[in-house]
Structure 1
Amino acid sequence: MTISVNSAAESHADHRHWKSDVECWGEDIENWRMEHCTAIVQLQEAVKRINEHGKALDEHAHAIASLQTSLEAHEKNLAASLQNGSNEAVDETMKDQHARQAELHLRQQNAHERMKKHHHQAMAKVAMLKSALEQAC
Structure 2
Amino acid sequence: MTQKVESPAELHADHRHWQSDISMWKFDIQEWRSEHESALEQIEQIAELIRLHQKALNDHADTVEAIEGGLEFHEQNLAASLRDHADSDLDDALLGGHAEESKKFESQRKAHERIKKHHHVAMAHVTALKHSLEAAM
TM-score (structure 2 length as normaliser): 0.94
Aligned to 1:33: 33
The alpha-carbon distance between structure 1 residues 92 and 134, as it changes in their structure 2 partners (threshold 3 A), is same
Query: C-alpha offsets along residues 6-39 of structure 1, whole Å, 9 cap, x if unaligned?
Result: 2111111001000000111111110000001000
Aligned to 1:76: 76
Aligned to 2:95: 95
CA apart distance, 1:89: 2.4
The amino acid across from 1:77 in the alignment is: N
- 1: CA distance between counterparts of 2:57 and 2:103? 21
CA apart distance, 1:84: 1.2
Question: Is the 1:82–1:90 contact (alpha carbons within 8 Å) kept by the matching residues of 2?
Answer: yes
Divergent runs of 4+, >6 A: none
Matches within 5 A, 1:7-46: 7-46=7-46
**Aligned-CA RMSD value:** 1.5
Unmatched 5+ stretches in structure 2: none
- The reply to whether residue 125 of structure 1 matches residue 128 of structure 2 is no
Aligned length: 136
CA apart distance, 1:94: 1.0
The amino acid across from 1:68 in the alignment is: E
Question: Is the 1:74–1:98 contact (alpha carbons within 8 Å) kept by the matching residues of 2?
Answer: yes
The alpha-carbon distance between structure 1 residues 86 and 120, as it changes in their structure 2 partners (threshold 3 A), is same
Unmatched 5+ stretches in structure 1: none
Question: Is the 1:5–1:11 contact (alpha carbons within 8 Å) kept by the matching residues of 2?
Answer: no
CA apart distance, 1:104: 0.9
SS in 1 for 2:47: helix
- 1: CA distance between counterparts of 2:99 and 2:77? 14
Query: C-alpha offsets along residues 80-108 of structure 1, whole Å, 9 cap, x if unaligned?
Result: 11111126721211110110111111011
- Seq. identity, %: 46
Aligned to 2:85: 85
